[in-house]
Amino acid sequence: MKLSEAKHQFISSWGAYGSNWGINRTMAQIHALLLISPMPITQDDIMEELNVSRGNVNMNIRELINWGLVQRVIVPGERKEFFSAEKDIWRVVTQIMKERKKRELEPMLKLMDTLEAVEGDKKDKHVKAFVDTVSNIKKTGRHADKMLDTLIRAEESWFISALTKIIK
Amino acid sequence: MKLSEAKHQFISSWGAYGSNWGINRTMAQIHALLLISPMPITQDDIMEELNVSRGNVNMNIRELINWGLVQRVIVPGERKEFFSAEKDIWRVVTQIMKERKKRELEPMLKLMDTLEAVEGDKKDKHVKAFVDTVSNIKKTGRHADKMLDTLIRAEESWFISALTKIIK
DNA sequence: CCGTATTTTCAAAATGTTTTGAAAGTACAA
DNA sequence: TTGTACTTTCAAAACATTTTGAAAATACGG
């Protein structure tokens, strides 16, 4: 397979996977393009490579920066802004976990605290089922939260080998 | 807070969280409703509770069954079908991980194998950057795959306590 | 079997999301 | 300060997904 074809497939698949994760196609494609770029590139490069409008590139780059996956790079002597992505995929993964934990898991656990305090007779099966579900979500959520903290902090190889050892 | 209000909030938030995960609002809301229902319920119950059409309920229930999160239940003496959800949230989580691993991670790793075999001079920085990224994704993906297998197999409490021990 | 209750399908409508592109805003060099 | 290169914004258009509802299919009791 030729490089150009392989690149194309990579970008297009990365875009498709993104949509299963609440990420829009263009954003995922920009990320893919940056991942395989040996040097930082500009908005114009991205526009040309992916055939999308300036506004679209601008919005999605900004969002990638919010997620901590892409950085603005100053190239001396150049007036344009350049962009580059974190290349270590494990760090990409932990960065995403960190953000999603903050944006989704933590607020959800807060909500569950509120909902757990529902009024009503705990012997009523509807009340009981509700409270049980909410408590169970809290419990599982807290566990997930701890696990994610551990994962995020741990060095990859270290973690895997430790994990594999205790599992064996 | 009254039960009805709490239920309403629970269902609506669960629906909102779903959309960050590539799951549509109604599907997530049906799941939420089933989670807090003490008894199996029918399509008509769901239609009424969530104010959605029959077709919509039918499609999304089927999808939840595909994901292994909901089951059809036969109630003796009743002609209608009833539905109930897995209530143990940890099992819900592992079930989702299992499915996503199969549907997304495994195919992605297959694709990376293909892409890694790209032609071209490895000294060309574009070729090198591409191959490096693909290899890195493969490596990280395989690790994630192993970790997920472990998590899916492990009993929750067992796993957490072992994990916390080695981390300390 | 037949009639009715129930489930499923699917094209069209409604709704939601993404993309465009041109105008406004900014920042830099001279 | 001014002109120009560049970035950002955002309303409207394009596109994609979800929802509806009625018709078709199916299953079930008698």
**Tell me, what's the pLDDT at A162?**
57
For residues B118-132, average pLDDT? 96
pLDDT at B81 over 80: yes
Q: What is the rounded end-to-end Cα distance, in angstroms, of chain A? A: 40
Q: Where are the beta strands (DSSP E) in A16-106?
A: 70-73, 82-85
Most A CBs within 10 A among B31, B35, B110, hence the mutation to make, goes to B35
**Tell me, what's the pLDDT at B155?**
62
In order of A17, B52, B86, B93, B108, the CA distances from B21 in angstroms are 12, 21, 19, 13, 18
pLDDT at B157 over 60: no
Q: CA-CA distance, B68 to B124, in Å (whole number)? A: 47
Residue B46's Cα: distance from chain center in Å?
A: 21
**Tell me, what's the pLDDT at B13?**
97
The answer to whether B25 CB is within 7 Å of strand D is: yes
Q: What is the pLDDT of residues A90-134, one digit of tens each?
A: 999 999 999 999 999 999 999 999 999 999 999 999 999 999 999
Q: CA-CA distance, B107 to B3, in Å (whole number)? A: 44
* Cβ <8 Å between A136 and B88: yes
Q: What is the pLDDT of residues B84-116, one digit of tens each?
A: 999 999 999 999 999 999 999 999 999 999 999
Q: What is the CA radius of gyration of chain B?
A: 22
* Cβ <8 Å between A133 and B35: yes
Query: In strand C, which positions have an atom below 7 A from any protein CB?
Result: 5-11, 17-23, 28-29
Residues 6+ apart with CB under 8 A from A9: B111, B115
Task: Name the residue among B90, B95, B58 with its Cα closest to residue B155.
Answer: B90
**Average pLDDT across chain A, whole number:** 92
Residue B150's Cα: distance from chain center in Å?
A: 17
The answer to whether A58 CB is within 7 Å of strand D is: yes
Q: How many angstroms is C1' of D14 away from CA of B4?
A: 41
Q: What is the pLDDT of residues B5-50, one digit of tens each?
A: 999 999 999 999 998 888 999 999 999 999 999 999 999 999 999 9
* Cβ <8 Å between B140 and A156: yes
**Tell me, what's the pLDDT at A168?**
43
Q: Residue B89 is nearest to which of A125, A137, A166, comparing CB atoms?
A: A137
**Tell me, what's the pLDDT at A151?**
87
Q: How many angstroms is C1' of D12 away from CA of A59?
A: 17
* Cβ <8 Å between A143 and B137: no
Q: Is the dihedral of CA A87, B20, B105, A93 positive or negative?
A: positive
The band of B129, judged by pLDDT with boundaries at 50, 70 and 90, is very high
- The enclosing H or E element of B84 equals strand B82-85
**Tell me, what's the pLDDT at A161?**
59
pLDDT at B161 over 80: no
Give every residue of chain A whose pLDDT is below 70, as ranges: 155-168
For residues B69-97, average pLDDT? 95
For residues B58-80, average pLDDT? 96
The answer to whether B55 CB is within 7 Å of strand D is: yes
pLDDT at B156 over 70: no
